Structure 1
């Protein structure tokens, strides 16, 4: 009986060690262009937190699931960003401290994953004073997307070795193309 009690207490302490190297929650800073938006953070269609007004920071639980940040502001179209968690290799050290139980606790709490610490959401004006202003705004946004992609591609090519370079370049180019298509869709939604 005493042996079973000691084993049970040991399991409790081992699971408590599981998040020593990582926390099951993190701060997420939400920035918007323009500032002053209200942003709801959701995961699996459930409310997680609100940042209002932006810029601001919320404490969110980690998860292995995507998290969505939806922002609204008067006279602007709603905008959304999806945050995909990244695996934290440091959590594997919890196997040494907390054993398999520690790893199970980390997986169940989401501590094995981490979201980016900052998300930037751009809200597009719902209308423009003139067609020329609208054209200039969207041309500038498209230029910013292309410049950011060019910088990202240069970074990939500089630090990339091996066969996955082509894959990473293709993914970055495909992401740029998706952003440009989304920008065009937004342009058509504005006045």
Structure 2
């Protein structure tokens, strides 16, 4: 699996004048072009991830407590405004359609959500002594997220697409369901409290009028 250093070295290598051997036959030349196309696509995806992390402040902020508060949501740490911001740069790439860029953006967001899970507290009323420290590991944030993205893409490439639709992993949304349910409960409680107060004031006014 390519490291960040490997990706950077490859990018520098592509910027240097190309040196080709005239002794290569057609078969070797075809294989080389296929490999080069794969490397260019991989380099493009890595550059896009790097831009996401930089634009969102994930790898430039040193205050993790402040960074936690700036997330769009626990399941979607990077907001859609970052995607639109990056479109001004990547929209010119006709060989990479916008829907595919969106898929890459959503995949990066999904991985970030998993990596940043230790920082997420969906029960704010429960006091917690844990610190907001995402599990980057010794490899750092960029390579950690990149490795997980590559791994997920490899897993999705295995098996029949129809099987992925019924993948039970997609049904593990307990936290999201709880958050939505809690929000509905708060709204209902506020409406009920307002009705009780209005009814009490109405009864008080009627009692005062009878006296």
Fold agreement, TM-score > 0.5: no
Considering fraction of residues, name the structure with more helix: 2
Instruction: State the structure with bigger RCO (CA 8 A, min sep 6), 1 or 2.
Output: 1
TM-score (norm 2): 0.28
Which structure has the greater CA radius of gyration?
2
